[in-house]
């Protein structure tokens, strides 16, 4: 199965938009990178974000919707157009096709029909422009201080500098992000600039907001002032991820521990979640809750990889931990407080240092594991449903 298609969703009614997003996301074959209630704004979004497809809700606003279909067909002939609606008469469907829609989908969609429609759109896009390659990897822990940032930093560094695949790391700890300390490079721009420039954000502008660590390795900083976190909405993150996917091989997300709408948007969007736990009882207790909530969110088992950090061999046997969590441990990282402490002091990730720490080899192995896993997850179309986004009101 090919890389998920990036789309914008356009429609007047927020409820229908949200249901449409849920149907699409549940297939794992589509990434919604922006939505709009305004049919005119949709044209600007296509110009800005260059999505592969536009999903246009025709209900109640037929004239505006079909005008948009014609406009996209004229100005962006490589954009796949899927029209959809809940109460559309046969004539509306015919008019949508005449205006230039590639597909029409009645809602609620029959799962088989939805699959077929997406297959045809994938084939259509395959004939035209090349698909995007970037993959989003979220590093998450249900408990603070488990090593989420350390792992995100080192996996990203290994992908970029050891495996030579252009990578960007995004700091989603919106109030107190701390990536500058890990790299010894101060940012000039941050996610705040993404939010403040939402109307004109494109990949060139977004690239100018990244902080360069080394060739092929960048980070997108959290707001420079904690109070600016309020300016950032989940929709800004989706837009940024969608754009970054068009140019980077890997987008690694350092996520906070709270399951708020921003974190949910990030986890939903991720192709792979590295779930970090420690081996102590409190960590295992919270990690078990985390795994349960991921299941309720509809995430496929394949989307989640459990990492055991700071593991000392004399601790609880791995089999016991797996039994408690009901989940296989995908990777184990050793305890080495000295190496991680030194890395922060010199502003250079362990994996790029001369350190003799076992963590150097382990982070490289982990990055190797992540890269093929991503390819596999893309080909099996794994992606979480946005069920939880709906619960949390994931948009703005």
Ligand X SMILES: Nc1ncnc2c1ncn2[C@@H]1O[C@H](COP(=O)(O)OP(=O)(O)OP(=O)(O)O)[C@@H](O)[C@H]1O
The 8-class DSSP code of residue 210 comes to S
Under rule CB under 6 A, residue 271 binds ligand X = no
Integer distance in angstroms from the first to the last C-alpha of the chain? 31
Helix (H) or strand (E) holding 392: helix 387-392
The CA distance from 243 to 6, in Å, is 9
Is the CB of residue 42 less than 8 Å from the CB of residue 32?
Answer: no
The listed partner (Mg ion, ligand X, none) that binds 144, CB under 5 to 8 Å by sort, is: ligand X
Three-point CA angle 321, 323, 329, nearest 5°? 55
Q: Using CB under 6 A as the criterion, what x/- string covers residues 66-105 for binding ligand X?
A: ----------------------------------------
**Contact residues: Mg ion, CB under 5 A:** 148-149
| Candidate list 130, 337, 356, 372; residue touching ligand X; CB under 6 A | 337
**What's the Cα-to-Cα distance from 205 to each of 215, 222, 235, rounded to whole Å?**
19, 17, 17
Q: How many residues in total does the chain contain?
A: 396
| Candidate list 286, 309, 377, 389; residue touching ligand X; CB under 6 A | 309
Give the nearest distance from C-beta 258 to Mg ion in angstroms. Answer: 12
Under rule CB under 6 A, residue 333 binds ligand X = yes
**What's the Cα-to-Cα distance from 268 to each of 42, 147, 177, rounded to whole Å?**
23, 21, 21
Q: Which tokens belong to 299?
A: 């995430």
Three-point CA angle 367, 358, 277, nearest 5°? 65
Under rule CB under 6 A, residue 347 binds ligand X = no
Is the CB of residue 269 less than 8 Å from the CB of residue 134?
Answer: no
Give the nearest distance from C-beta 372 to ligand X in angstroms. Answer: 23
Is the CB of residue 159 less than 8 Å from the CB of residue 367?
Answer: yes
Under rule CB under 6 A, residue 147 binds ligand X = yes
Q: Which residue has the tokens 């974000």?
A: 49
Q: How many residues bind ligand X (CB under 6 A)?
A: 19
Give the nearest distance from C-beta 149 to Mg ion in angstroms. Answer: 3
Between residues 202 and 315, which has the closer beta carbon with respect to ligand X? 315
Between residues 48 and 142, which has the closer beta carbon with respect to ligand X? 142
Is the CB of residue 80 less than 8 Å from the CB of residue 102?
Answer: yes
Give the nearest distance from C-beta 255 to ligand X in angstroms. Answer: 9
Give the nearest distance from C-beta 298 to ligand X in angstroms. Answer: 25
Under rule CB under 6 A, residue 307 binds ligand X = no
Under rule CB under 6 A, residue 310 binds ligand X = yes
Under rule CB under 6 A, residue 283 binds ligand X = no
Give the nearest distance from C-beta 173 to ligand X in angstroms. Answer: 6
Residues of this chain that interact with ligand X (CB under 6 A) are 141, 144-150, 173, 257, 309-310, 333, 335-337, 340-341, 359
């Amino acid at each position: 199965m090919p890389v998920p298609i990036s789309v914008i969703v356009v429609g007047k009614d927020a409820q229908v938009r949200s249901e449409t997003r849920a149907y699409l996301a549940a297939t794992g074959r589509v990434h919604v990178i922006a939505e709009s209630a305004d049919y005119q704004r949709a044209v600007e979004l296509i110009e800005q974000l260059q999505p592969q497809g536009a999903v246009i809700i025709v209900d109640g606003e037929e004239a505006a919707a079909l005008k948009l279909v014609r406009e996209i067909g004229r100005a962006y002939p490589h954009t796949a157009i899927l029209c959809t609606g809940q109460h559309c008469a046969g004539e509306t469907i015919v008019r949508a096709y005449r205006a230039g829609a590639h597909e029409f989908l009645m809602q609620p969609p029959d799962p088989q029909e939805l699959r077929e429609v997406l297959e045809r759109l994938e084939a259509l896009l395959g004939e035209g422009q090349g698909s995007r390659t970037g993959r989003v990897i979220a590093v998450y822990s249900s408990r603070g201080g488990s090593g989420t940032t350390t792992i995100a930093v080192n996996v990203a560094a290994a992908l970029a500098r050891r495996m030579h695949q252009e990578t960007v790391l995004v700091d989603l700890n919106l109030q107190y992000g701390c990536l500058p300390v890990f790299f010894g490079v101060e940012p000039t721009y941050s996610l705040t600039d993404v939010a403040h420039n939402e109307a004109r954000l494109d990949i060139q502008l977004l690239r100018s907001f990244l902080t360069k660590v080394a060739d092929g390795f960048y980070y997108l900083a959290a707001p420079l002032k904690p109070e600016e976190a309020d300016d950032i909405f989940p929709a800004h993150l989706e837009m940024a991820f969608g754009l970054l996917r068009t140019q980077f091989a890997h987008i690694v997300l350092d996520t906070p521990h709270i399951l708020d709408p921003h974190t949910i948007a990030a986890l939903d969007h991720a192709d792979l979640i590295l779930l970090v736990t420690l081996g102590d009882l409190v960590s295992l207790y919270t990690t078990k809750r985390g795994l349960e909530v991921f299941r309720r969110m509809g995430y496929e088992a394949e989307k989640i990889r459990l990492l055991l950090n700071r593991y000392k061999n004399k601790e609880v046997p791995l089999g016991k931990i797996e039994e408690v969590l009901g989940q296989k441990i995908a990777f184990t990282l050793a305890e080495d407080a000295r190496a991680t402490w030194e890395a922060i002091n010199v502003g250079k990730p362990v994996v790029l240092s001369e350190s003799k720490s076992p963590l150097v080899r382990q982070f490289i192995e982990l990055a190797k594991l992540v890269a093929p896993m991503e390819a596999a997850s893309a080909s099996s179309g794994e992606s979480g449903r946005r069920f939880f986004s709906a619960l949390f009101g994931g948009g703005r």
